[in-house]
Amino acid sequence: MENLGFIVAAYTVVWGGIALYALSLARRRGGD
């Protein structure tokens, strides 16, 4: 599987973006 590295990188980027988005929403909801 030569694409394994690309799959892992894409997976990390996607979930990293989701995590940052969730953190920004939580921070905004906290009002601080």
**What's this model's pTM, rounded to 2 decimal places?**
0.58
Give, in order, the Cα–Cα distances in Å from 2 to each of 13, 15, 21, 24, 29: 19, 22, 30, 35, 42
Q: What is the C-alpha to C-alpha distance for residues 30 and 19, in angstroms, rounded to an integer?
A: 16
pLDDT tens string 1-32 = 789 999 999 999 999 999 999 999 999 887 66
pLDDT of residue 3: 92
